[in-house]
C-alpha cells in the first residue's frame, strides 16, 4: 500500500503527523507489522526488514540524543540504507534535528503520534493488517445466520438471492448480495463485506432491486462478517449420488483458508432457506464438538459389535 493512504480512514484514531520527508509519501509499506528499532541503532541492523515501518520510542530518541554528531550521522546513514517506508515517533517526542534532516534528504517520511509506543504499534499493526490483507471478490450471497457467517455460492439464477430474502424474513441478517468482497486476516480467517455502492441492496428477478434495510429495518443487515461456512447450491441431477449421512468434511479454499463447505442440491419443492438455516445450526453444533452423523455411526458400530459378541457367546 502507498504510505499516503495512512492519512485517512481508520488510521485517523492514530493521529499521525508528518514532520519531514513528504517527498517519500509514495513509498510502499509491504509488511503489516511495525518494527521497533532497538539494537539497530547500536550497529546490529541486520534484523531491520524492508517494507516495515520503524518505530522510535523514548529509548531510541534518548539514545540518538546521547551520541556525538558524527556518530549520530553514521548511525542514521546505516539505518536509512535499508528500504524503510517510514519512521514513526511515538509519545509526541520532538525528533533530533539530524533525524528530521536525514528523513528530508533521503525522502523517508518522518511521522509522529501522541500515542504511547505499545498502543501506537498495536493500532498501526491492526490498520496495516487490514489494508494489506489479501483480497478477492466472489459472486454469491453472504448472510449472518445465528451469528454464523454463511456464504452461499452457485451458478447465476440458482436462487441464492431468493434464499437470502427468505432468511431475512426469518430474522437473519444480510451482509452482501451478488458481489461479496473477501479479505484474509491474520492468515487464518476470512472477512466478507459488501461494496459500498450496493450495500443493503438485493436483486430479485421479476421484482428488481430492493433495499433490505429500508424494508426490514437496521437489524436486518450488517456491514461485514467472518465467513465460517460455505453452502454451494447445485441443480438437482437425477441419478447423481449426494451425501446422505453428513460424514464428508468438504472444504472450500478462500485466499488459502479452508472453510467448511456443504453441497446442497436445489430442486422444486425443497425449502432451501430452512435447510440452509439448519445447516448453520448444525455447523454451530459441530464447532462445539457435537457431530450428529459421527455420533450415530459410532453408536451403531458399538451396537453391532455388541451383537456380534453375543452371537459368538451363543455358539460357544
Active site residue 36: no
Check: CB of residue 113 under 8 Å from CB of residue 88: yes
Check: CB of residue 220 under 8 Å from CB of residue 192: no
Which of 36, 45, 178, 286 does the annotation list as catalytic? 178
Give the three-class secondary structure for 183: strand
Active site residue 160: yes
Cα separation, 130 vs 194, whole angstroms: 15
Check: CB of residue 186 under 8 Å from CB of residue 129: yes
Which residues 6+ apart lie within 8 Å of 191 measured at CB? 133, 182, 183, 184, 185, 224, 225, 226, 227
Sequence-separated contacts (24+) of 73-76 with Cβ below 8 Å: 73/98, 73/102, 75/41, 75/42, 75/43, 76/102
Is residue 272 exposed (0-12), middle (13-18) or buried (19+ Cβ within 10 Å)?
buried
Taking phi first (over 0 means left), then psi (-120 to 50 degrees means alpha), and beta for anything else, what does residue 92 get?
left
Give the three-class secondary structure for 46: coil
C-alpha distances out from residue 269 to 93, 170, 225, 262, 265, Å: 69, 19, 30, 20, 12
Active site residue 298: no
Cα separation, 117 vs 206, whole angstroms: 57
Which of 62, 139, 235, 299 does the annotation list as catalytic? 139
Which of 72, 112, 123, 160 does the annotation list as catalytic? 160
What residues does 137 pair with on adjacent strands? 181
Active site residue 172: no
Cα separation, 204 vs 213, whole angstroms: 15
Question: Kind and range of the H or E element at 117?
Answer: helix 117-131
Cα separation, 128 vs 124, whole angstroms: 6
Which of 240, 244, 314, 315 does the annotation list as catalytic? 244
Q: Which residues are catalytic?
A: 139, 160, 178, 244
Amino acid at each position: 500500500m502507498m504510505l499516503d493512504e495512512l492519512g485517512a480512514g481508520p488510521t485517523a484514531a492514530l493521529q499521525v503527523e508528518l514532520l519531514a520527508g513528504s517527498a517519500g509519501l509514495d513509498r510502499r509499506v509491504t509488511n503489516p507489522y511495525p518494527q521497533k528499532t532497538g539494537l539497530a541503532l547500536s550497529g546490529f541492523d541486520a534484523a531491520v526488514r524492508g517494507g516495515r515501518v520503524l518505530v522510535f520510542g523514548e529509548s531510541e530518541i534518548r539514545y540518538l540524543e546521547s551520541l556525538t554528531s558524527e556518530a549520530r550521522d553514521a548511525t542514521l546513514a546505516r539505518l536509512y540504507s535499508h528500504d524503510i517506508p517510514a519512521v514513526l515517533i511515538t509519545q509526541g517526542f520532538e525528533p533530533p534535528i539530524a533525524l528530521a534532516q536525514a528523513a528530508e534528504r533521503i525522502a523517508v517520511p518522518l511521522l509522529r503520534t501522541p500515542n504511547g509506543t505499545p498502543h501506537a504499534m498495536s493500532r498501526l499493526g491492526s490498520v496495516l493488517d487490514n489494508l494489506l490483507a489479501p483480497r478477492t471478490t466472489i459472486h454469491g450471497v453472504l448472510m449472518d445466520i445465528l451469528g454464523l457467517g454463511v456464504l452461499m455460492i452457485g451458478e447465476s439464477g440458482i436462487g441464492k438471492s431468493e434464499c437470502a430474502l427468505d432468511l431475512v424474513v426469518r430474522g437473519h441478517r444480510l451482509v452482501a448480495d451478488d458481489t461479496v468482497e473477501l479479505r484474509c486476516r491474520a492468515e487464518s480467517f476470512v472477512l466478507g463485506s459488501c461494496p459500498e455502492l450496493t450495500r443493503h441492496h438485493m436483486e430479485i428477478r421479476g421484482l428488481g432491486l430492493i433495499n433490505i434495510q429500508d424494508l426490514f429495518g437496521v437489524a436486518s443487515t450488517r456491514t461485514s462478517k467472518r465467513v465460517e461456512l460455505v453452502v454451494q447450491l447445485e441443480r438437482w441431477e437425477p441419478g447423481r449420488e449426494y451425501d446422505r449421512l453428513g460424514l464428508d468434511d468438504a472444504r472450500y479454499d478462500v485466499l488459502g483458508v479452508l472453510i467448511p463447505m456443504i453441497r446442497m442440491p436445489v430442486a422444486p419443492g425443497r425449502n432451501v432457506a430452512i435447510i440452509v438455516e439448519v445447516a448453520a445450526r448444525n455447523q454451530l453444533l459441530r464447532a462445539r464438538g457435537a457431530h450428529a452423523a459421527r455420533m450415530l455411526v459410532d453408536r451403531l458400530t458399538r451396537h453391532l459389535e455388541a451383537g456380534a459378541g453375543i452371537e459368538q457367546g451363543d455358539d460357544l
